Amino acid sequence: MRIDIISCVPRLLDSYFDHSILKRAKDAGLAEVVIHDLRDYSENKHRQVDDYAFGGGAGMVLGIEPIARCIRHLQSFRTYEEIIYMTPDGDVFDQKTANRLSMTKNLIILCGHYKGIDERVRQVFITKEISIGDYVLSGGELPAAVISDAIIRLIPGVLNDETSALTDSFQDNLLAPPVYTRPAQFEGIKVPDVLLSGHEKKINDWRLEQSIKRTQERRPDLLK
Ligand code: SAH
């Protein structure tokens, strides 16, 4: 899988993708994230990519021309299943969307900045608009990193234990059960006996029971 991220502050993204699970995915040839500097597609001598909003008001707007050039350049090499714009008014991202996007081959993610992007980019190029929650950030870079992480860790082989992503929260609409590690006792607080029993069926039953209980308590909406 390949994800192309378009940003006017690409350096915000470097360190994230050079570490963590995403680096492993890249080294193993399972997923590649390529970051593009929108300013490379500006024809302005100051490499400007934003301009004043028509009609006035505070805040600059990313213009359509550099974005169009960048997207068309990428499309000349391969076909993209989705061209995603990160935006607070998009569909709120969830595990189902992560699952679906993890099965695609090529994605573009466009990060906005300032007041946002010229509306015509959304009309002409964007096939999917995603929000990471009901709050406003200064740029689409963190949101792009958030969804890339959620997508890439689902690709088979990226996580060490292949089944590990399947037992995370939201797969099967359940929250994950509690987990423990050594020591078995800390200041009198003990790990549940069943986890030390070595009895696989009992452990699995306990985990499922705890998942259901936790989901009922914290997120009953998921059980509907
Ligand atoms: N004026 C816009 C917000 C612009 S914030 C509005 O009120 O809707 C600048 C950029 O940050 C956006 O273009 C978008 O790419 C990104 N961004 C901010 N909050 C986001 C969120 N919750 N989810 C996804 N992207 C977000």
What gap in Å lies between CA 132 and CA 117, rounded to an integer? 17
- Measure 136 CA to ligand 1 centroid, in angstroms: 5
- Measure 135 CA to ligand 1 centroid, in angstroms: 8
**Which tokens sit at 211?**
């998942």
Q: Which ligand 1 atom minimizes the distance to the CA of 117? A: 13
Query: How would you classify residue 57: left for phi > 0, otherwise alpha for psi between -120 and 50, otherwise beta?
Result: left
State the virtual CA torsion across 39, 42, 44, 46 in degrees, nearest 10: 0
- What is the DSSP secondary-structure string of 80-132? -SEEEEEEEEEEEP-HHHHHHHTT-SEEEEEPPBTT-B-HHHHHHT-SEEEES
CB-CB contact of 4 with 111 (8 Å): no
Ligand 1 and 89: CB distance under 6 A: yes
Among 109, 136, 147, name the best residue to mutate to test ligand 1's pocket (greatest count of ligand atoms within 8 A of Cβ): 136
**Which tokens sit at 69?**
């050039």
Q: Which ligand 1 atom minimizes the distance to the CA of 93? A: 23
pLDDT of residue 98: 97
- Measure 141 CA to ligand 1 centroid, in angstroms: 10
pLDDT of residue 160: 80
Report the chain (224 residues): mean pLDDT per 10 consecutive residues: 98 88 90 97 97 96 98 98 98 97 98 97 98 98 97 92 79 94 98 98 98 98 93
Please, which residues have CB within 8 angstroms of residue 63's CB and are 6 or more apart in sequence? 49, 50, 51, 118
Angle at 76 between CA 72 and CA 79, to 5 degrees: 95
pLDDT of residue 65: 98
- What is the DSSP secondary-structure string of 35-63? EEEGGGG--STT---EEEPTT--SSEEE-
How many CA atoms lie less than 13 Å away from 130 in the CB half-sphere? 28
Residue in 59, 15, 65 with CA at minimum distance from that of residue 38: 65
Ligand 1 and 61: CB distance under 6 A: no
CB-CB contact of 193 with 184 (8 Å): no
Ligand 1 and 137: CB distance under 6 A: yes
State the virtual CA torsion across 15, 16, 19, 22 in degrees, nearest 10: -140
pLDDT of residue 162: 61
Q: Which ligand 1 atom minimizes the distance to the CA of 132? A: 23
CB atoms within 10 A of CB 82: 15
User: 3-class SS at 158?
Assistant: coil
pLDDT of residue 163: 66
Ligand 1 and 142: CB distance under 6 A: no
